Structure 1
Amino acid sequence: MSSLNGGSLNKNPPNADRHITVGGTDWLWAVFAVMAVSTLGMIVWSTRRPRGTRLFHNLAIVILATSTVAYFSMASDLGATPITAEFSRGNTGTRQIWYVRYIQWFITFPLLLMLLLFSTGLALSDILTTAFFAWIVVVCGLVGALTSSIYKWGYFALGVAALMYIWSSLLGHGPRTNFHAGTGVRSGYVRGSWLVAFITMLYPIAWGCSEGGNVISPTREMIWYGILDLILGPAFLYYFLFGMRTVDYGAFGFNSGRHTDGAYAGGHNAGVGGQNMTGAGVGGVGTKNGTTAAGTGHGAGGPGVANAV
């Protein structure tokens, strides 16, 4: 260990026979810097948007901030554990397995899919199910990486199967839904979904060559994963959000349900008989343009007032 001249590797010596090199830590510090700057830029961009129209930007902030912390850990040679490799290359006994990377993906991968699918007309239940399968992909990858025997490939197969479900949602169900925000959002979604599907196809290949088959070194593993994370992180997020900068946010139908929201100030809860009611109790009375109409609202007690249009 004394021969290592890198700052991170001196402070936090590697704990496996096959580990990252000084060049690997340099690359990780560079990726960390890009992630950190991208996070700050997204925060500034978010504050320039009106309140109530920041959902996509806030999801991007969480993704980028999580990636920043993960790459700081890996650049510091922290967040790894030695695992006996199934396939020994030369005299290698153990290999560094970076569990902090899987913690990163466990948070970022579902959020990335939600950010993309929220632009479609896909049902919320389908979006959440797709996000759940993202967790399956990451958990299978982590458990497989920590397994020394041939059973790791069973987890690999299960993870790829879950990934295929995600691809079916992105490329199959998503494009067939109604895009209330317009055809421009549809075309942007189609391009983005194909990019995400293609990049996520490269992750299992990288896993098979690194944590799975121990073919490439941990440094090359870091370069491979780092490029993929940069594409699906800053590059894709800024590209996708820039393409949606002029889209009417109200067309997505997002609403928190808070009475302080601007959308609810006009009353967007639907009552019986086509009347739009706010705060109406069962059997309440709504008024619209000076006329009286009975309806059933969604609130608790009191009269309801319909939209004045």
Structure 2
Amino acid sequence: MSTLDKRGNGALQANPFTVNGASADIHITTHGSDWYWAVCAVMICATFAFMGLAHTKPRQQRIFHYITASITLVASVAYFSMGSNLGWTPIGANPQRSNPLVRGMYREIFYVRYIDWVITTPLLLMDLLLTAAMPWPTILYVILIDEVMIITGLVGALVYSNYKWAYFVFGCMALFYIVYVLAWEARKHANAMGKDVGKAFLICGSLTTFLWMLYPIAWGLCEGGNVISTDSEAVFYGILDLLAKPVFGALLIWGHKGIDPARLGLHVHDYDEKDQAIHGNGHNGVANGEHTNGTNGAPATTV
């Protein structure tokens, strides 16, 4: 009986390291697969937790719960794929190393990780920028820049030559702009919405900014420079994703526990809204059919 059979993880046997006739000789071991499965389990548990917490709120106040649960749901699928040794392609190792852990011709690159990020990072930014009540044009533009960051990272990871570092630079430029918006514009906007909103944004925004600055380092050591093993890559990215998604989500939901989305310009209509208003359970700031954002009396965005 093989080691894989003894451990009960047959993913690497069921899905070998060969794609369309090309093989990856720098790839994860059972330890890496186990770690990916563990992260997948945490993401799934977090998804159920966030969805459960959503049902403790009126339907009109669940927007942040739904966005946050969507983040961990998508991440669950990505980590299921990586734990199953799926969603990857072999790319020529450049530079080639003498270290036995990264010695070989082709490195296993998980493109499914970038599919995850291209969906989840805009949702993370929506969580933050909606918390700060940022204008929609700004939110859409920051999300566009974020997509540039992720796609250039993916293209760079799939390039064999040193031209990949040009894509790395493009991605870093996009990241610096996002960090600027979070650290300066959005922070000031959140503080203007109230002390509690400013505190929630500061905690979650600071965590996101710090973690996102570490992702380029991980890229440089893994896909870019072929410095650390694919098992170490799994741990590095996995820890970052656990902090950036479930931990971030828990802090965000906690920060929003006393904040009505209507204060942030997010009034969501519901079919029984009139019945709630009759019984005195309507949203604050709703009077004579007009919705206000609770800070300066300006009309709020309705959905």
Distance 1:225-1:178 versus aligned 2 partners, 3 A rule:
closer
Map of 2:266 onto structure 1: 254
Segment of structure 1 superposing worse, 133-142 or 253-262: 253-262
- Does 1:156 pair with 2:168? yes
Deviation at 1:195, TM superposition (A): 1.2
Match in the other structure for 1:10: 13
Deviation at 1:150, TM superposition (A): 0.6
Secondary structure in 2 aligned to 1:177?
Answer: helix
- Which of 85, 89, 93 aligns to 1:81? It is 89
Q: Does 1:39 align with 2:54?
A: no
Question: 1:31–1:24: structure 2 CA closer, same or farther, 3 Å change rule?
Answer: same
SS at match of 2:26: coil
Check if 1:228 corresponds to 2:240. Answer: yes
Query: 165, 168, 183: which one pairs with 2:180?
Result: 168
TM-score for both structures, normalised by structure 1: 0.82
Q: Provide the residue aligned with 1:57 in structure 2.
A: 65
Letter in 1 for 2:84: S
> Do residues 268 (structure 1) and 280 (structure 2) align?
no
- 1:304 maps to which residue? none
After superposing the two structures, state which structure 1 stretch, 92-101 or 125-134, moved more.
Answer: 125-134
**TM-score (norm: length of structure 2):** 0.84
1:139 partner amino acid: I
5+ residue gaps in structure 2? 19-23, 275-282, 293-297
Asked if 1:67 corresponds to 2:75, the answer is yes
Q: Report the 3-state secondary structure (helix = DSSP H, G, I; strand = E; otherwise coil) of the residue aligned with 1:95.
A: strand
Q: CA deviation at 1:259?
A: 7.9
How many angstroms does 1:117 deviate by?
Answer: 1.1
Which amino acid letter does the alignment assign opposite residue 174 of structure 2? A
Question: d(CA) in 1 for partners of 2:139 and 2:121?
Answer: 13
| Structure-2 residue corresponding to 1:22 | 30
Deviation at 1:3, TM superposition (A): 8.1
Contact 1:180 1:251 in 2 (8 A): no
Say if 2:70 is the partner of 1:48.
no
Following superposition, which runs of at least 4 residues in structure 1 exceed 3 angstroms of deviation? 2-6, 178-181, 256-266
Deviation by residue 1:148-184 (Cα, 9 ceiling, x = unmatched): 0011000000000000010011001112226565211
SS at match of 2:13: helix
Q: Are 2:190 and 1:184 equivalent residues in the alignment?
A: no
* 2:208 counterpart of 1:196: yes
The farther-off stretch of 140-149 and 261-270 is 261-270
Q: Distance in 1 between matches of 2:190 and 2:75?
A: 32
Superposition RMSD in Å: 2.2
Provide the residue aligned with 1:208 in structure 2: 220
106, 116, 123: which one aligns with 1:94: 106
Alpha-carbon distance in 1 for matches of 2:243, 2:181: 21
Please give the secondary structure, in 1, of the residue aligned with 2:290: coil
SS in 1 for 2:89: strand
8 Å CA contact 1:121–1:180 kept in 2: the answer is no
Q: CA deviation at 1:105?
A: 0.3
Distance 1:269 1:24, change over 3 A: closer
Which amino acid is the alignment partner of residue 89 of structure 2? T
1:237 aligns with 2:249: yes
CA distance in 2, matches of 1:109, 1:212: 21
Q: State whether residues 97 and 211 of structure 1, in contact with CA within 8 Å, keep that contact through their aligned partners in structure 2.
A: yes
1:178/1:218 Cα in 2 relative to 1: closer, same or farther (>3 Å)? closer
Match in the other structure for 1:289: none
If asked which structure has higher relative contact order (CA below 8 Å, sep 6+), I would say 2
> Is contact 1:119–1:179 with CA below 8 Å preserved after alignment?
no
- Larger relative helix fraction: 2
Inter-partner Cα distance in structure 2 for 1:101 and 1:26: 16
Alignment correspondent of 2:133? 121
Segments of structure 1 that go 5 or more residues without pairing to the other structure are: 271-275, 278-309
Confirm or deny: 8 A CA contact 1:180 1:252 kept in the other structure.
Answer: no
**Deviation of 1:134 (Å):** 1.1
Q: Distance in 1 between matches of 2:56 and 2:139?
A: 28
